[in-house]
Amino acid sequence: MNKLIIFCIFMILMGSLYIILTEPHSDDSIPTLYWVTDANPTRYQQIELFHDWLIQNKHTTPEGNAIVRIKLETGGIDNKKLIHGVSGVAGDLIDLSDIDQYQKLGILEDVTEQGKSLGFDIHQTFPSLKPSLYFNDKQYGYPCNVSIHSCWVNSETFAKLEMEAPPEKWDVETFEKIGKEFVLKANKEKERQEVFFMNKPSDWLLIPWLTTLIRSMGQSTFNETLTDSTLDQGAFAEALRLNLKWVEEDHLFPSSAEASSFNSEGGFGGSLMSLFLEGNYGMITTGRWVLVRLRDLEEPPRVSVSRYPFKYFENSVVMTRAACIYKGSKHKKLAALFLSFLASQTYNEQIVQCADALPSNPKYLHSNEFLKPIHFPNEWGAHEVPARSAQEISIAETKSPYISYSSIVKVIREADEKVQNHISEPVEAAKEANLAIREEIQRNLKHRPKLKKQFDKDKFRQNQINRMKENGEKIPTSLISNPFYKKYYNDKK
């Protein structure tokens, strides 16, 4: 046994020596930044572009080389970000979709001044993203890309049924009317329904879908100051009811059993994309990144885009994957150059070309390369819709400082599952969800005096707002924290 252990140690040492001797030598005087992100192949191209951008913009060594290198750190990033951040060993640059949750722990660098001086402040991206990039009025990140979820339509599936593709904008009634016609024509003379108007939004797609519906009725998941849940005020229950109706009465979406049968029957291909391409779904809920998959096909279908249906207030949820600088980084000034690069023409044109969602800087939404990519005429006319949505009707996600966003997502999903499985009626499920969030907030406040102090201040503001609403007075934007109500009250003036 001892000989085996010694042999294993010897082999490990020899292997390590081989790696050291054969690894290409580089200039150790040039710092390296570690970028914690997803394992997307385009990240390597983006790193090369960053190095070229540094040289073009004179950020170079005396020898003319880029003054900093970047290496990717992708393995298990979802689990490592928070743990490494609080333990002091995180990467220099961290991609996040929940900046507020991380900055509550104080592990992100304030980049407000660098954003202004290096050209990556809020004026170089979509204004509606400010709640997702700022915390306590200070900037902590800049978008790598921007996401707007929409209904992406296989126009050829509609053409086969002699139907026009759905319009860019539609209310709930129009959505139902077109959907019923589509389902009736597509399944005519079939023994059972094989074609659906759209996939049923589930998992992470469910939240922006329900949020859009709730907001379209003039309500939000939280009140104006984010101190209390408002899921029991009617709109959430109505959204849950509609979601069930579109499955069981109108058959616009597949039930869970029908979706499972797709996955088990080889003819349908199983995946959402296969069902979309083969005509089992007339459209699917997704973002512009769907084109990455479509462009790999020899003959991709003609596509169009429709916004999510609404009741009376049209809106869209805007999200981002933002790059942030770790507060413990030894190279924070160099890392700020990377955020400046994300706002540059070089980077944004690459996002336009690879179709990885929307570019972070909206001024690149108007080029022919974005609107009419020369090699993909099947996409012409589709790109304008998410671009207009991001610029005209987008609102950031509603997040409260008094409860984690993951807890909110969990509660909303559970409410939808209860309704879909007939465990609870929509109104009952909404009340239960509302109570669950309230109880979670109180638990969080119980042992955190500093948070409770801020909560009391916000609660005081909420009482002011409630009195103003009772008296029919206009509510100043300065009193409002919820990004939905900031836009809603402003648009209703």
Residue by residue, DSSP assigns 426-439 as HHHHHHHHHHHHHH
Instruction: At 111, list the tokens.
Output: 């980049």
Q: What ranges in 108-251 are assigned the alpha helix state H?
A: 112-118, 130-133, 155-160, 172-186, 206-216, 235-248
Q: Give the confidence band of 329 by pLDDT, cuts at 50, 70, 90.
A: very high
Instruction: At 389, list the tokens.
Output: 């949505």
Compute the average pLDDT of residues 140-161.
97
Phi, psi of 329 (to 5 degrees): -65, 145
Query: Which tens digits make up the pLDDT trace of 96-130?
Result: 998 988 888 889 999 999 999 999 999 999 999 99
Compute the average pLDDT of residues 13-21.
41
Query: Which tens digits make up the pLDDT trace of 161-203?
Result: 999 999 999 999 999 999 999 999 999 989 999 999 999 998 8
Sequence-distant (6+) residues with CB within 8 A of 216 are 172, 309, 310, 311, 312, 313, 314, 315
Please give the pLDDT value at position 112.
98
Q: Give the residues across from 394 on adjacent strands.
A: 316
pLDDT of 23 strictly over 70: no
Query: Structural domains in the chain?
Result: 25-146+321-390 (3.40.190.10)
Please give the pLDDT value at position 179.
98
Instruction: At 371, list the tokens.
Output: 């609107």
Q: Which of 43, 115, 117, 317 is nearest to 207 (CA)?
A: 317
Count of other CB atoms within 10 angstroms of residue 407: 15
Q: Give the confidence band of 27 by pLDDT, cuts at 50, 70, 90.
A: low
Query: Checking DSSP bridges between strand 316-325 and strand 394-396, what pairing results, if any?
Result: parallel
Q: Give the confidence band of 256 by pLDDT, cuts at 50, 70, 90.
A: confident
Q: Give the confidence band of 214 by pLDDT, cuts at 50, 70, 90.
A: very high
Distance of alpha carbon 354 from alpha carbon 349, whole angstroms: 9
Please give the pLDDT value at position 301.
97
Residue at token pair 């597509």: 186
Q: Which of 362, 347, 356 is nearest to 53 (CA)?
A: 347
> Which percentage of the chain shows pLDDT scores above 70?
90
Query: Checking DSSP bridges between strand 281-286 and strand 316-325, what pairing results, if any?
Result: unpaired
Q: Which of 378, 354, 348 is nearest to 366 (CA)?
A: 348
Q: One-letter amino acid identity for 131?
A: P
Please give the pLDDT value at position 263.
60
Q: Give the confidence band of 20 by pLDDT, cuts at 50, 70, 90.
A: very low
> pTM of the prediction?
0.89
